[in-house]
Structure 1
Amino acid sequence: MSRLVAAVHVVTTRTSEGRTGFTATAVVSVSDSPPTLLVCLNRRNHSAPAFRRAGVFAVNMLAGDQQPVALGFGGRNDLAGEQRFAIGHWHEGHLGIPVLAGAVVVFECRLVEARTIATHDVLVGRVEAVTLGRDGPRLAYLGREFLVV
């Protein structure tokens, strides 16, 4: 799997317990009518139950200079939960969930289906809001390394 090049995203949500999120490369467009995205989340991730409960999530595609955000939400610096939001500039999106300022694009989604497949939850979300950010280099992941493309 490490040979698959992928864009890097931080997927976020909010529940009554607070904000949470994780770094993801397994994000794909499912349909454009209605606009729908698929996100894969390892069930061992501490935030996995929150995504099912919240019913909404944001997919923030990272710009080339946002590697610290990817690392923070990827668990590489021992930050958890709300602490992760100290990295980057966050605000509340259209659906009341955290969105990242400076992201290439943010898709705010309503969860329409969640399935467990092997070690992951597959979350399918209908896109309800899109925010286009700056155009420029993006963060990618290949061979267990970040690349700016």
Structure 2
Amino acid sequence: MRGLTLTSVASASANPPLFVFSVATESRRLASLRAAPVFSVAFPAADQADVAARFAEPERGGPPIPDGIVFHDSGVPMMSGSRAGAIAHLVDSMQVGSSMLFVAEADEIYTGRDAPPLLYVGRQFATLSPALGAERE
């Protein structure tokens, strides 16, 4: 099972449902991403940093299929318990500087649980602070 942590995913089109992301050209995961007929993208919750870290830092080791991974009916691995995600396929790519920019089409979009999001900033995981003026207990 192969995976990676993306620093950003952006919507490119509502119809068809397209999104874009980039991967460094020196990434060890680039060839497997290009070869995959379908893949999943997850938007993890703040409490899923351990599962996400396995993909951000593959040298950490651990089981080949970490806890928190389930399989879609198509056989594609997905992060269970995430805020949302998609099963997708690549439709285009181009080199942009030292990265490959990919365009993917979502074949299936799913929503998960309502939880604070997990962010990946500066090669570290983080969460959002409560909004200014938010009610406090």
Query: Same fold judged by TM-score > 0.5?
Result: yes
**Larger deviation, residues 89-98 vs 119-128:** 89-98
Displacement after TM superposition at 1:74 (Å)? 0.8
Structure with more strand by fraction:
1
Is the CA contact (8 Å cut-off) linking 2:7 and 2:121 kept in structure 1? Answer: no
Over aligned residue pairs, what C-alpha RMSD do you find?
2.0
- TM-score by structure 2 length? 0.82
User: What percentage of aligned pairs have identical amino acids?
Assistant: 27
What count of residue pairs does the alignment treat as equivalent? 128
- TM-score by structure 1 length? 0.76
Partner of 1:134: 113
Closer, same or farther: CA 136–78 of 1 in aligned 2, 3 Å: closer
- In structure 2, list runs of 5 or more residues that go unmatched: 129-137
Instruction: Say whether 1:68 aligns with 2:71.
Output: no
Aligned with residue 51 of structure 1, among 19, 30, 33: 33
Displacement after TM superposition at 1:120 (Å)? 1.3
Aligned with residue 89 of structure 1, among 53, 68, 72: 68
Closer, same or farther: CA 33–107 of 1 in aligned 2, 3 Å: same
Partner of 2:135: none
Partner of 2:131: none
Mapped partners of 2:124, 2:31: distance in 1: 28
Partner of 1:34: 16
- In structure 1, list runs of 5 or more residues that go unmatched: 1-18
